[in-house]
Amino acid sequence: MKQARLIDLGLIDYQKAWDFQTDLFNQKIQSKLHKSANDLPTDGVLHHLILCSHPSVFTIGKNGNENHLLLSKQILSEKKIDFFKSNRGGDITFHGIGQCVGYPILDLEDFKLDINWYMRSLEEVIILTLAQFGIIGERIDKVTGVWIDANDPKSARKICAFGVRTSRWITMHGFALNINTDLDFYKMIVPCGISDKGVTSIQQELGEKIDENLVKQFIIRNFETVFEISIC
């Protein structure tokens, strides 16, 4: 069975986490360029799953619209909220305490050479995790994410956002699942550039604070199931 190494960075500044996964991402690419297909990277591991959370920060994808940030940079500074232009896909989103952020660093040549399959697989990990709390997570056709009440235009709300980057079939960036997130931060942006749908969290749906470590353990187990991989 394929194996991946779990790296739990805990609460970490966005820039530090970005630098960490970028170094790992680049290492994997260099290994592919200079070694045979049967060789492992220098750290001896082909795949990684990074989990963490960030202090309050807005990030926007490489093709995102900065007009979807509804505050001036000065106000952001006053509120001590960071803002980063990222090299991932997608538009603007929020990261903060109470989220579980996942950055899988995978070589898709060991899985399936299909970005759409990869994105749907990430969504499936979250859908299975939500089901363990009695929450029905759903997809909306042609709109990446995991949603609640996806088929009701008036009440559809996103609970998990996704944005990735790939090069030579190596992945980075990933997902952000709202667990106990302060949803007021989303009022400061047009989340993911989608103005006609809401945002929610597990806490919001269940009406009580949730054990974030338990959610994390469910994510790990469901990641193993969906990607048919052992995480250690």
Q: Which residue has the tokens 């001036």?
A: 72
Task: Indicate whether 165 belongs to any domain.
Answer: yes
Mean per-residue pLDDT, 85-92:
96
What is the percentage of the chain residues whose pLDDT exceeds 90?
Answer: 91
Q: Please check whether residue 77 lies inside any domain of the structure.
A: yes
**Domain contains 39:** no
Is the pLDDT at 91 greater than 70? The verdict is yes
DSSP string, 61-110: -TT--GGGB-S-HHHHHHTT-EEEE-SSSS-EEEE-TTEEEEEEE-BGGG
Report the half-sphere exposure of 162 (CA within 13 A, side-chain side). 21
- For residues 23 and 56, the answer to whether their CB atoms sit within 8 Å is no
DSSP bridge pairs for 101: 52, 176
Q: Which two tokens stand for residue 118?
A: 């990869």
pLDDT beyond 60 at 38 = no
In a domain? residue 10: yes
* Spatial distance between the Cα atoms of 13 and 96, rounded to a whole number of angstroms: 10
User: Is the residue at 16 inside a domain?
Assistant: yes
Measured in whole angstroms, the distance separating CA 93 from the mean position of its chain's CA atoms is 10
Which of 52, 100, 160, 192 does the annotation list as catalytic?
192
Q: Residue 164's domain spans which residues?
A: 2-34+44-227
- Domain holding 26: CATH number? 3.30.930.10
**pLDDT tens across 40-61, in order?**
555 557 899 999 999 999 999 9
Q: What is the pTM of this model?
A: 0.95
Cα–Cα nearest to 87, from 172, 144, 175:
172
The SS3 assignment for 175 reads strand
pLDDT of residue 206: 98
State pLDDT tens for residues 145-172: 999 999 998 999 999 999 999 999 999 9
Q: Where do we find the tokens 């992945």?
A: 171
Determine, yes or no, domain membership for 232: no
Beta bridge partners of 6: 49
Q: How many domains does the chain have?
A: 1
3-class DSSP state of 157: strand
Phi-psi bin for 124: left (phi > 0), alpha (psi -120 to 50), beta? Answer: alpha
Which of the 8 DSSP states describes residue 141?
T
- Compute the average pLDDT of residues 77-102: 96
Query: Does 175 reside within a domain?
Result: yes
Could you tell me how far CA 61 lies from the centroid of its own chain? 13
Task: Give the per-residue pLDDT at 45.
Answer: 76
Q: Is 192 a catalytic residue?
A: yes
Q: Is residue 217 part of a domain?
A: yes
